Structure 1
Amino acid sequence: MAHYDLEEQEQLDSLKTWWKMYGNLVTGLVSVAAVAVVGWQGWNWYQGGQSAKASAIYGVLEQAVAIGDAQKVKAAAGELAEKFGGTQYAALGAMLAAKQSFEAGDLKTAKAQLTWAADNAKDELKDLSRLRLAAIQLDEKAYDEAMKQLEAAHVSTFDARFLEMKGDVLSAQGKKVEARQAYKAAMEKSGDKPGAGRELLQQKLDSLGDAA
């Protein structure tokens, strides 16, 4: 029995020695892990709260758009961008506000809102914002600025639309050869499925005449 007690004592002494050497490190690692878990849960809770608040403001924006209250639209979109810029609602709000501003003839505000969305939105929303901004710049004959938007990196699903818009800009500049190349590339990206978009592209190509 004493033999087993001695073994147990040796194991206990070894454990004490190991803990003396590495105890602080283990405690520190456990503490860091605990803080990380709590932090992650807290972040998720915070993000959920942010999204809920942003959603409520976006609802106010939608109502303001429905009744044509331009000031309330601007205020709601501004609050989303300032306080909840990291949420998808902020980008959606900027784009919706830009549409309302554009239809009201306030192109300056529309461009500012689309520029914010183009700089801060993600993926498809960013690309759609760039396309809409380029369309306004095309109308204003700001061709270089429009082309800058269209040359930015974008998701592949928007390839055809970006190429078509490039064709529009080049055509407006009288660069028929380059415009035809852009339209043809857009046709290739759009695939073989018939549709209104493909028909419009063909019409744009035909309008260029015999450009090589």
Structure 2
Amino acid sequence: MADRTDEEQVEAIKEWWRENGMAVVIGIVVGIGALVGWRGWSEYQENRAREASSLYQEMLAARAAGDSEQLQDKGTQLLADYAATPYAGFAALALARQALAADDLETAESRLRQALESLDEDSLQHVARLRLVRVLTAREQYDAALELLQSTDFGRFTAEYEELRGDILLGREDTAGAREAYRLALANTSPQAGGRELLQMKLESVGGKATPVNTTELDSAADNL
């Protein structure tokens, strides 16, 4: 009985294999292929990141050497060939800075928009957005500048954004709006901040008066950052 049972079990296994063996083999092959493909993709991504990092270092070296042509070439290559890496955003910021130094506001705007699309880190996004708003304001594209502000969570950059809002509204001859924006900016500026005096002058130029600063609250807020 035991022998017959063993034979029946063997036959059952054979039958199961005839019915399902091909699916098992295919599953194994697919699984191995997926594992190999994932490892290959990971290695590819790592290689791309190393290449982008190396190119970015070359771009920084060109900037340090004052070689604007190499800076432009390396930065443009990063944007074109390594757009999916964080270095593309860094390159866009550097190229925007170069364009601003040359008073090329149109190119600076384009590069800063690229930076906004490429950068993931919150603080760097604020840096790019603030610079872009300044460029748009300088180009008197006030509606576009305000649109950027309206879609932004200011976070710890409230003072900078409100000051820019004041500049924009003043450009649109909205004195009351500019006054309120400057007042908010000043209220969110530390007494030790370097730009506080200029901000105070802007507020006074539109007929405003600074609200006394609660240094205790500011110090407490700073301790919690």
Instruction: Work out whether the TM-score is over 0.5.
Output: yes
Structure 2 residue corresponding to 1:196, chosen from 189, 193, 196: 193
**Following TM superposition, by how much is the alpha carbon of 1:138 offset from its aligned partner in structure 2, in angstroms?**
1.0
Match of 1:44 among 38, 42, 45: 42
Contact 2:93/2:128 (<8 A) preserved: yes
How does 1:66-77 map onto structure 2 within 5 Å? 66-77=64-75
Q: Is the 8 A contact 1:160 1:185 kept in 2?
A: yes
8 Å contact from structure 1 (residues 134, 149) kept in 2:
yes
Aligned residue identity for 1:55: S
Change (3 A) 1:144 1:155: closer
Paired residue for 1:80, among 58, 71, 78? 78
Corresponding residue to 1:26 among 14, 24, 27: 24
Give the equivalent residue in structure 1 for 2:5: 7
Q: Which ranges in structure 1 are unaligned for 5 or more consecutive residues?
A: none
* Offset from partner CA, 1:24-75 (integer Å, 9 cap, x none): 3333333332222222211221111111111111112112212222221111
Relative to structure 1, the CA distance from residue 206 to residue 28 in structure 2 (aligned partners, 3 Å threshold; closer, same or farther) is farther
**1:82-121 counterparts in 2 under 5 A?**
82-121=80-119
Structure 2: runs of 5 or more not aligned = 210-225
- Cα deviation for residue 146 of structure 1 reads 1.6
Say whether the 8 Å CA contact 1:61–1:77 is kept in structure 2.
yes
Letter in 2 for 1:108: E
Contact 2:105 2:139 in 1 (8 A): no
Classify 1:18/1:102 alpha carbon distance in 2 versus 1 (closer, same or farther; 3 Å): same
For the aligned residue pairs, the C-alpha RMSD in angstroms reads 3.0
How many residues of Structure 1 are paired with residues of Structure 2 in the alignment?
207
CA distance, structure 1, for counterparts of residue 158 and residue 16 of structure 2: 62
* Percent of matched pairs sharing the same residue: 32
* 8 A Cα contact 1:99 1:110, kept in partner: yes
